Amino acid sequence: MEIYRDDRFDPAFTKELTLLLHADSHAMQYAVIHAEAQEVMLLADRQLPPSGNNGTAPLLQLMNQTDELHAAYKAIHLSISAAPFLLQPSSTKSEEATSHPLLQTGTDTQWQLDTVKDDVQVAFSISQARLPLQDIPVTITHTHHVISGLLATIESQGWSGDHITVLVTHRQMLVVGHQNSHLAFANAFHFSSKDDFIYYLMLVAEQLHMDQETCTVHLCGALAPEAQITREIHKFFRNYTFESFGLSRMFRLTPSDESLSIAMPVLALLPCV
């Protein structure tokens, strides 16, 4: 579904533009931005059909049918949410990070490391069987796990007290817990119902000994304010907010793009039930 398109956008002239592409096992979301002019040129969300026994065929087919994804961009930032990730000290050596049992997904795996800040690093794996980067008809400039951008965004908020931030991407929820600006928890959960969603939230609050009457839950991503899940959250957590963390905040942009402050709408506000 195309959410927004600037009349001036032409896939044939994209060499000064940047493509932000977010991919998981269910959907592909992307934005084309002009960093220097601080403008959004295109914003789209495309659901992937069920793969059945065809593996990544639906993803490749969708990308091959999408003209703007074949274009030559100044930079392409790919964000992954489906791959497993592991938080670790930044001092950990690359070979130690990629040998962790949690990241052993097979011989077709590419390893990525991303430093969020001086003392926190995200190690994550990209399985070619799930996301065939070699077959995507574009050159990926930077690849990051979406948790990296989320952590960096939370760090910039300077919150005090107890906070739980939830980034929803279709049927996956990335949950981050902070206590007095200290990172206390980060994990990803797959949910299939509102009961699953609430259960994981309550589980994190319990593990961190947070008071559900006083802690604040921050919601962002593919979750609409009118969704049934939102009404359920109010029954268990007194304080919750919807954060407008734009798509650009979900990506670790290069130093030349750090001035980017485009106000972008949250992608795919889908009413989860």
Please state the φ and ψ torsions of residue 200, each to the nearest 5 degrees. Answer: -65, -40
CB 86 within 8 A of CB 122: yes
Mean pLDDT within 125-149: 73
Q: How far is CA 159 from the centre of its chain?
A: 21
Query: Of all residues in the chain, what percent carry a pLDDT higher than 90?
Result: 19
Bridge partner residues of 46 (DSSP):
28
Maximum CA extent, the chain: 54
Bridge partner residues of 34 (DSSP):
39
Place of tokens 């959960």: 189
pTM: 0.76
Query: Of all residues in the chain, what percent carry a pLDDT higher than 70?
Result: 72
User: Which DSSP category does 255 fall into?
Assistant: G
One-letter amino acid for residue 114 of the chain: D
Q: For the chain, how far is it from start to end, CA to CA, in angstroms?
A: 20
Characterize the bridge pairing of strands 216-221 and 239-242.
parallel
CB 193 within 8 A of CB 210: no
Task: Kindly tell me if the per-residue pLDDT of 217 is higher than 60.
Answer: yes
pLDDT tens, position by position, 39-98: 889 888 887 766 554 556 666 777 777 888 888 899 888 888 877 788 888 776 666 655
What DSSP element (H or E) covers 229?
helix 228-236
pLDDT, residue 107, reads: 56
Q: Which residue has the higher pLDDT, 61 or 190?
A: 190
pLDDT, residue 222, reads: 72
Please state the φ and ψ torsions of residue 147, each to the nearest 5 degrees. Answer: -65, -30
In the predicted model, what is the mean pLDDT of the chain? 77
One-letter amino acid for residue 68 of the chain: E
Mean pLDDT within 94-116: 64
Please state the φ and ψ torsions of residue 269, each to the nearest 5 degrees. Answer: -75, 85
What DSSP element (H or E) covers 63?
helix 57-64
**Residue 55 and residue 209: Cα distance in Å, rounded?**
41
Characterize the bridge pairing of strands 27-34 and 39-47.
antiparallel
pLDDT band at 268; cut points 50, 70, 90: very low
pLDDT band at 248; cut points 50, 70, 90: very low
pLDDT, residue 104, reads: 55
Choose among 151, 80, 84: nearest CA to 117: 151
Q: Which residue has the higher pLDDT, 136 or 265?
A: 136
